[in-house]
A and B are shown apart, each in its own frame.
Chain A
Amino acid sequence: MNAFRSTLFSSAVILAAGVSIAPVIAATPDNMLIIANRIDDITTLDPAQSFEFAGSDVNRNLYSKLVGFDPANLSGGYIPALADSWDVSEDGKTITFTMREGVTFESGNAVTAQDVEWSLRRVITLNKTPSFILSQFGFTPENVAETIVADGNTISITTDKRYATSFVLNCLTATVGSIIDSQTAMEHEVDGDLANEWLRTNAAGSGAYTLGSWKPDESVTLVANNDFFRGAPEMQRVIVRNIQESATQRLLLENGDIDVARNLNPEDVAGVALVDGIAVDSELRGRLMYISMNQKNEILANPKVIEALKYLIDYEGMQNGFLNGQYTIHQAFLPATYLGEIDDAPFTLDVEKAKALLAEAGYADGFEIGIVVREAQERIEIAQSIQNTFAQAGITVSIQVGTGKQILGIYRAREHDIYVGAWGPDYPDPNTNAGTFAFNPDNSDEAGATGLLAWRNSWSIPEMSEATLAAVVENDRDARAAMYEAIQREHQQTSPFAVMFQKIEQTGRAENVQGLSLGGAITAVSYWNVTK
């Protein structure tokens, strides 16, 4: 085998030996940040439509919002951005923002309250997928003329009822809250599309960067906006190059051709960690892995069975095995770092306890059950691990693997037994997950609430739904956090959801690059604090 390999090596060497070029530049230029990432999920850059990870990363740097996060202090919560300050009306339904003075778009146009009015109304009118983040406050295409109104230097938004101010403001930090240069955009409007088509591949914002170019599957180039209201970014160009392969990203990083590698697999992370001049960062992201049990299934509807199955998952084994470094154990529906997070992890693999619970439930000899899972490597491995540990209590699991469309179809139609799922928060407010894991006001088939995970699992929870609703209107931050903690503790015990893991993103970084924030669990990456 060795002789064989060395033949291979030498033949490769001979083939390429014809040309020997001077070594490449050892490090990237000082004012340029070069990142390797998988960016082929970007389908549009229009903030009213973009809803993918890589797209959010780009938008966060191109556009500013009324309120935003300080990348250096994400846990500090939202801070004023294009809005200088805000007042809440007495009835709690209207928030009036006063605009920051002297901020301009990349075109040179001033950022005005009218731009805010146009941008937010546009989200509702276009009604693209992420519009629910704003329309959940009762905005409709018919009422935006009264509910989102600019007046001189102020903009007021009026919700259909009283909500916690923090809930509304957290939603305004999402990509849909981006403020667009209405004048520039409308010059490119075609057939009343509010420049949807143009903004798909162009940008008109007031962020730290402007769009140099976006070449699908190849690269996104951002050019510094030196008039950025928080100060000119040090990195004058940021280039995100689409590199699919982990091994390739690692080679580029080790050779100094890129500064940051964002998709290294565990082996490559371990490899680069040993290299001088390269640091590995681990940042918690918002994505959760869970399994859920359809309550239409008589066996799974038994509370004892639900509890037993939660003791039949090898959380630690998976975390330290194939999920090593990529996921950490987390057993509550709010990701760590969210308001109201809890870090209790009451469940561990305990076959004896599970057997006792199953016996109490009348299933001492186990039962047969199906798991549906989509064809993603880590999810299939989770399903297999569960199949293995369930078997130890006499439960026979059959795994059905399918494409995303097939499996999601089964799940939305409530036809599964057990589903292996992943869920990422849509906006940085606890309601983003509470409103789907712990909210299901009408469990009937006719309700068709396919967007709610609780409904998809036929879990009828009138009281918990009330509690979730109450939490969105609580204005006292601490009281609100306590409400979510209580809901999660109950959810953890009684719900047919076994939340298992939270995502960790591991990044390889050249040590001289400082201040890069990927956005944690609440937002996307920002480049304007980066220094070298």
Chain B
Amino acid sequence: MAMAEQSRKGRRRSPLFGIAKKTGSTLLTVVATMLGLLFVTFFIGRVMPVDPVLSIVGERATQEQYQAVFLELGLDKSLFTQFFIYLGDVVQGDFGKSLRTGFPVWDDVTRVFPATLELATLGTLIGVFIGVPLGVLAAVKRGTWIDQVARVVALIGYSMPVFWLAIIGLMVLYGKLGWVSGPGRVDIYFEDIVPSVTGMILIDSIIARDWTIFWNAVSHIILPASLLGYYSLAYISRMTRSFMLEQLSAEYITTARVKGMSEWAVVWKHAFGNIKVPLITVIALSYAGLLEGSVLTEIIFSWPGIGKYITISLLSADMNAVMGGTVVVGLVFVLLNIFAELLYKFFDPRAK
């Protein structure tokens, strides 16, 4: 009797308890992932054949000057000691200073990440709003010319090197036709005019209600965003097509058709309704991929984003910057995953 009561109490407590438990375990996953990420990045960074000291003092430095910086960086300590010192600082929110730029890594990252965020978000939106309908259409019209066109579009997206497409795009649309603006986020005369609130110029210019700068920024971002959008479109449309084909060949679809449902309802309500969950995963992954920063796109468009930042830092052995950048990218990945999971629950009652 007592036991039964206890278990009933337990059951009564369970909703709140469950949420707390879920939150706790999610937090634990986040912390464990970040720790693992830091650990791996740190040790890979330390075995790279680039000398951080040399990249600070240069080739002409004397042994004495070299040694001074070597000690200043704490490189005389064991790798594990170095790692724990670093970890201690990070826990206190101190990512250290970038050896290359001289600025605190956090300042650098918060300066470059919004540029990537802006570009990746726009790219993903383009990818989703064109890619999903294209994929659905290709599945419904399987084997027709529409399907073939969709396949060619996607294949080109898969196989064309991004730098090539980027340079061609710039040459034609900026160089020859003048339809879009060139590399950079805004025309150079417009730089630093709107106050930086979010670091995303499109949004900052809306906040400042400066439409000249807003449209100028649009004319700069549209080409790189379209390119990134094209790549995610290729992926998203292919995946949508195959998810849809699977559903459309299922028996319940035949049943629905036999019952006399309209084709629209069959496709969009029944079939599409069932692919939302896997599609969310695909979109989230593609978005996360773009948020890492597309290095080549960023270099060609002189886009000061996080991909370029991490790459250049890595090449000059600026490990503080690399770690800071990696942590942010990792965090974004984890957060996107959690967000996707929440969306599953929203779209798929079974996941509750």
Contact = CB atoms under 8 A, between A and B. Distances in A.
Interface string B302-317: 1010001100100000
A15 B181 contact: no
Contacts of A495: none
A331 B59 CA distance: 24
Given A128-B65, A251-B170, A451-B60, A24 B103 contact: no
A257 B49 contact: no
A216 B299 contact: no
Nearest to A199: B102
A16 B223 contact: yes
- Please indicate which of the listed interface residues B58, B68, B102, B170 has the most CB atoms of chain A within 10 Å of its own CB: B102
Given A8-B160, A129-B61, A215-B111, A15 B226 contact: yes
B88 interface: no
Interface stretch (A87-95, A174-182, A241-249, A519-527): A241-249
B187 A403 contact: no
A467 B178 CA distance: 62
Contacts of A404: 50, 54
A12 B152 contact: no
A255 interface: yes
Given A213-B192, A216-B101, A242 B302 contact: yes
Interface in B108-154: 108, 111, 152-153
A248 B170 contact: yes
A251 B156 contact: no
A310 B65 CA distance: 36
B348 interface: no
B176 to A, nearest CB: 10
A21 B180 contact: yes
A21 B232 CA distance: 25
A201 B184 contact: no
A217 B309 contact: yes
A20 interface: yes
Interface string A4-33: 000111011101111111011100010010
B156 A11 contact: yes
A250 B169 CA distance: 14
A243 B302 contact: yes
Contact of B100 (A12, A19, A43): A43
A243 B50 CA distance: 24
B249 interface: no
Contact of B300 (A9, A20, A248): A248
Nearest to B100: A43
A29 B189 contact: yes
B174 A241 contact: no
Contact of A254 (B49, B59, B175, B179): B175
A7 B154 CA distance: 13
B168 A405 contact: no
B182 interface: yes
Given A15-B229, A16-B222, A241-B184, A255 B175 contact: yes
Interface string B167-207: 11111111100111111100111011000000000000000
B343 interface: no
Contacts of A166: none
B323 interface: no
Nearest to B192: A213
Contacts of A405: 49-51, 54
A29 B50 CA distance: 42
A25 B103 contact: no
A243 to B, nearest CB: 5
Interface residues of B, number: 68
A252 B174 CA distance: 9
Interface in A197-240: 197, 200-201, 213, 215-219, 221, 239
A451 B63 CA distance: 10
Contacts of B312: 40, 217
B351 interface: no
Contacts of B322: none
B111 A448 contact: no
A34 interface: yes
B103 A201 contact: yes
A78 interface: no
A501 interface: no
A493 interface: no
A86 interface: no
A329 interface: no
B57 interface: yes
Given A51-B58, A129-B58, A403-B50, A216 B189 contact: no
A139 to B, nearest CB: 15
Contacts of B299: 244-245
A19 B122 CA distance: 14
Nearest to A45: B102
A215 B168 contact: no
Contacts of B222: 16, 18-19
- Please indicate which of the listed interface residues A11, A21, A29 has the most CB atoms of chain B within 10 Å of its own CB: A21
A43 B101 CA distance: 5
A337 interface: no
A127 interface: yes
Interface in A108-137: 127-130, 132
Contacts of B189: 25, 29, 32
A309 to B, nearest CB: 25
A406 interface: yes
Nearest to B303: A218
A44 interface: yes
B168 A8 contact: yes
A8 B188 contact: no
A179 B152 CA distance: 63
Nearest to A9: B172
B172 A241 contact: no
Contacts of A9: 168, 172
20 contacts: A8-B156, A8-B160, A12-B165, A12-B172, A12-B173, A15-B227, A19-B179, A29-B189, A44-B102, A216-B102, A216-B108, A217-B308, A239-B188, A247-B171, A251-B175, A257-B187, A257-B188, A405-B50, A405-B54, A450-B63
Given A16-B222, A43-B100, A216-B100, 4 more contacts: A25-B189, A241-B188, A242-B302, A408-B59
Q: Ordered nearest first, which 6 A-B pairs have the shortest CB separation? A: A216-B101, A21-B219, A200-B102, A15-B226, A23-B178, A129-B61
Interface of A: 7-9, 11-13, 15-21, 23-25, 29, 32, 34, 40, 43-44, 51-52, 127-130, 132, 197, 200-201, 213, 215-219, 221, 239, 241-245, 247-248, 251-252, 254-255, 257, 403-406, 408, 426, 448, 450-451
